[in-house]
């Protein structure tokens, strides 16, 4: 009897891949940070060469856009090199930065036609914003760099996360729109990382994680998104992205995430489901 060779289906690669390249950040966000990032955290176990290989494989399997996130991604010592690798491969790139400190040379990099920025902003009042970030002076610095990005014509999304009762989120949104920001959305704290108030579950997710998107953590672990970090599906370095996305663990995890109805999940023109910047990312429950 002739046995036909086993045929493996081509993995359904996500078009959007978040790369959490570091846990280091100038801010602490004591009641908010899902990544539990901070000034004394490290860059994880992946080397710059590991990240370059992951970016190259992402392009090979059909990823269209990567997002550098952290922590504060610009604090990674090879941030510029990783950006250049992604751009050289034709990928769209988004940098999710706190915009607390921006190197002058980075502005030219951010002005590339395939690069966009995203950031978070918490109040039009400095004391409230700084209360959320845990860093005095962060409001003025971030606001000034938001204005700088707008003045330079760099595409920018800004998310406002409601952390405490009475927070001036509505006033913050009005201020941002007045400054010229066109993509402003609000969210609330998720029960993940420092915001955890109950055991994380798929009910905390938007319902679109693992559906056209994925994330790679600082140790190479692949998850449905940065908020779905409690759902490991393999390792980008050890297993390879193609094997992860073509594997049973990825498929089983994707099936566990509650889907949203069309009416409950408005379209996102950017194609990204960014929890801090996309209304469609409100938890599915």
pLDDT digits (tens, 9 = 90+) for 46-87: 999 999 999 999 999 999 999 999 999 999 999 999 999 999
pLDDT digits (tens, 9 = 90+) for 239-280: 999 999 999 999 999 988 877 654 444 434 344 444 444 443
Domain 16-281: state its class. Answer: alpha beta
> Which of 179, 199, 182 lies closest to 190, judged by CA?
199
> Which of 46, 50, 47, 109 lies closest to 74, judged by CA?
109
pLDDT digits (tens, 9 = 90+) for 131-170: 999 999 999 999 999 999 999 999 999 999 999 999 999 9
> Which of 101, 89, 83, 26 lies closest to 58, judged by CA?
89
Counting beta carbons within 10 angstroms of the beta carbon of residue 230, is it exposed (0 to 12), middle (13 to 18) or buried (19 or more)?
middle
pTM: 0.88
Domain boundaries, the chain: 16-281
| Sheet containing strand 115-120, strands side by side | 183-188, 156-162, 115-120, 92-96, 65-69, 16-20, 213-216, 222-223
């Amino acid at each position: 009897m002739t046995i036909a060779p086993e045929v493996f289906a081509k993995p359904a690669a996500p078009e959007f891949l978040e790369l959490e390249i570091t846990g280091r950040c100038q801010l602490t966000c004591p009641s908010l940070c899902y990544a539990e990032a901070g000034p004394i955290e490290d860059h994880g176990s992946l080397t710059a060469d590991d990240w370059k290989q992951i970016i190259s494989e992402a392009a090979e399997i059909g990823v269209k856009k990567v997002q550098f996130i952290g922590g504060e991604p610009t604090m990674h010592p090879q941030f510029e090199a990783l950006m250049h690798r992604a751009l050289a491969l034709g990928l769209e790139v988004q940098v999710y930065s706190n915009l607390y400190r921006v190197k002058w040379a980075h502005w030219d990099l951010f002005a590339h036609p395939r690069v966009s920025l995203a950031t978070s902003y918490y109040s039009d009042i400095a004391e409230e914003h700084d209360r959320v970030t845990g860093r005095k002076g962060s409001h003025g610095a971030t606001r000034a760099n938001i204005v700088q990005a707008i003045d330079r014509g760099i595409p920018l999304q800004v998310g406002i996360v409601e952390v405490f009762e009475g927070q001036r989120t509505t006033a913050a949104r009005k201020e941002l729109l007045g400054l010229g920001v066109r993509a402003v959305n609000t969210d609330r704290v998720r029960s993940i990382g420092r915001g955890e108030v109950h055991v994380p579950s798929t009910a905390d997710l938007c319902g679109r994680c693992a559906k056209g998107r994925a994330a790679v953590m600082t140790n190479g672990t692949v998850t449905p998104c940065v908020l779905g970090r409690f759902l490991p599906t393999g390792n980008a370095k050890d297993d390879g992205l193609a094997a992860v996305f073509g594997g049973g663990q990825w498929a089983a995890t994707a099936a566990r995430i509650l889907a949203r109805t069309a009416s409950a999940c408005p379209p996102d023109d950017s194609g990204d489901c960014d929890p801090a910047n996309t209304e469609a990312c409100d938890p599915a429950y």
